[in-house]
Structure 1
């Protein structure tokens, strides 16, 4: 299903469930230092999932020996494991039928795992808050705003303020008494060179990576295509040895092709949109001079 379809279902159907589902709050069973299993949920956006890693690190520092799992969409589970999460609970939204079955299975699996705490990192999703509630975790932390009924499913909630996303995620840890560092870093995905195909290993170097895309829910964040084209042309004219690799998902193939226009087929411009697996993408970004 497309992300806009998921959003509509979330707001209309799950919005009603969140408003009227019976709730009975209970106090946390133990302090964070005694937690053994913690779930973090972030469903949309590969970049946003990487931004969860400072929160996961803060939890591990405060909870010795804790198992930290990510609850996310099926297509992001590989990334979760590459980022060091101990396990991944997945939601398959490829169709309405699969989403329903997957939702029920996800609840069953997470409840069986019995998390001590659940950090829900979506800003507005009713479905995500419902999953946190149904997980059975005695501590449920999430974001809240005045027009949303989400807070009734949470034990702790954090307001959405104009700060960097990773800071907002860390604020959830602070809200339950976990020490938050003043300086933090993002985990780099641990990619496997054995999963990188031969022709990708031997791409022409040196190179710069360009991603002219944005998430489907935030297309307004995209810079104008003609600006990207102008930058690429300037790079080619200024640095005669540099190759340019364009990246993106399969859904963005036609959009990127429209941007490249006259540069399509240029000997130093390589369109890799929709052609890389996750390990290849991470290697490409890791070895780029600039992105």
Structure 2
């Protein structure tokens, strides 16, 4: 379903649904005792629906759950794309609940099935990684979990989500997303109350960064694909990946396509450099049209040629990724590759991909960041100078430094 339609539904139907469910739960407590708080956590469902790239940062929170609550089993509730990201991160398939969004009927049917599945699992807690999203808050309440952690608008900082959370946190726009998610896990050990939960420090350096090791079988498949595209290619060549795309949730995160074409042409000048444009299957045609403006024997369209597990291995095989702020940037942070991420409407202070070889680029204009958790990542800007102002020369210079470090 289109992103704007989902936002519309969440805005207009979400608020009354949160209010009605809040009233229903309060009335129900008059006639039956709520499920008691468990002595120890056994099953915790992490809810992350739209921002599938956030699962990379959420891995640190899941590890913290296992550290703080030995024996606790993390589960995930997500949309269809999130399931593919979990494949790339090698998260167990038998601990996922997936809601497909390809059609209203499918979406409604999968939502009801997801609620039934959660209630059958009888989770001890839910961790809502979505910020002020009403749909995910409703799902958490309908799961039947006695502990429900999430972000709450204490003095109108965010959107109304009813009284459906038991552990309410203040959302801080000054913390990295990984710290924010870890704080949610920290709150699970506390007793519910009117005060904001998780009044603890969560240093970023204390969080275990997610790493996905290379897979020899996937590497062979990736190398075969590269040879089929460029018969002269050898593993000794330098491989540069470019991601011209960004999700429909915030299209103004895109660097101009003309800049990517110029960057590709400049990077492909040495005879031992192969440049590939990556993307989802639905983005393949758009990338194909773009590359008609740059016919080059060592610049190729890789969009749609790999599933996300193969894409992760492609990151291991490559030397550099230049990308907009989007899901592939976060996935690449878990692989052995240099990454240059271009930020504009959002801030790298919150969403910078984790990893020692990631470099974030931002002009830090006075109007940026203009999209956040408070406005559902909707911006009135139609002239994203924060992205247009990032010069090809500056990105090329950083790319050449990264490629120069290769043995």
- Give the TM-score normalised by structure 2: 0.64
Is it true that 1:158 corresponds to 2:169 in the alignment? yes
Q: Which runs of 5+ in 1 are unaligned?
A: none
Which residue number in structure 1 is paired with residue 371 of structure 2?
A: none
Report how far residue 115 of structure 1 moved. 0.9
Q: Distance in 1 between matches of 2:302 and 2:184?
A: 37
Which residue number in structure 1 is paired with residue 341 of structure 2?
A: none
Report how far residue 261 of structure 1 moved. 4.2
Report how far residue 92 of structure 1 moved. 1.6
The counterpart of 1:47, out of the listed 53, 59, 67, is 53
Please identify, of 130-139 and 249-258, the stretch whose mean Cα deviation from structure 2 is larger.
Answer: 249-258
Please identify, of 199-208 and 35-44, the stretch whose mean Cα deviation from structure 2 is larger.
Answer: 199-208
Is it true that 1:284 corresponds to 2:314 in the alignment? yes
Which residue number in structure 2 is paired with residue 173 of structure 1?
A: 185
Is it true that 1:16 corresponds to 2:46 in the alignment? no
Structure-2 change in CA distance of 1:141 and 1:160 (3 Å): same
Instruction: Tell whether the 8 Å contact from 2:45 to 2:127 is kept in structure 1 after alignment.
Output: yes
SS in 2 for 1:168: helix
Aligned residue pair count: 287
Which residue number in structure 2 is paired with residue 273 of structure 1?
A: 303
Q: Let me know the Cα RMSD of the aligned residues.
A: 2.5
Instruction: Tell whether the 8 Å contact from 2:178 to 2:204 is kept in structure 1 after alignment.
Output: no
Higher relative contact order (CA 8 A, sep 6+): 1
Structure-2 change in CA distance of 1:278 and 1:169 (3 Å): same
Question: Alpha-carbon deviations, 1:25-52, whole Å to 9, x = none?
Answer: 8686136xx2110110111233212221
SS in 2 for 1:44: coil
Report how far residue 2 of structure 1 moved. 2.0
SS in 1 for 2:310: helix
Question: Alpha-carbon deviations, 1:209-251, whole Å to 9, x = none?
Answer: 11111111011111121222222122122x3311011111133
Report how far residue 66 of structure 1 moved. 1.4
Structure-2 change in CA distance of 1:70 and 1:201 (3 Å): farther
Q: Distance in 2 between matches of 1:278 and 1:95?
A: 22
Report how far residue 188 of structure 1 moved. 3.3
Structure-2 change in CA distance of 1:14 and 1:82 (3 Å): same
SS in 2 for 1:70: strand
Q: Which runs of 5+ in 2 are unaligned?
A: 190-197, 227-232, 322-407
Which residue number in structure 2 is paired with residue 92 of structure 1?
A: 100
Q: Distance in 2 between matches of 1:197 and 1:289?
A: 17
Structure-2 change in CA distance of 1:56 and 1:197 (3 Å): same
Which residue number in structure 1 is paired with residue 122 of structure 2?
A: 114
SS in 2 for 1:285: helix
The counterpart of 2:281, out of the listed 234, 250, 255, is 250
Is it true that 1:124 corresponds to 2:135 in the alignment? no
Question: Alpha-carbon deviations, 1:91-135, whole Å to 9, x = none?
Answer: 122111111111111001011111111001112321111000000
- Give the TM-score normalised by structure 1: 0.88
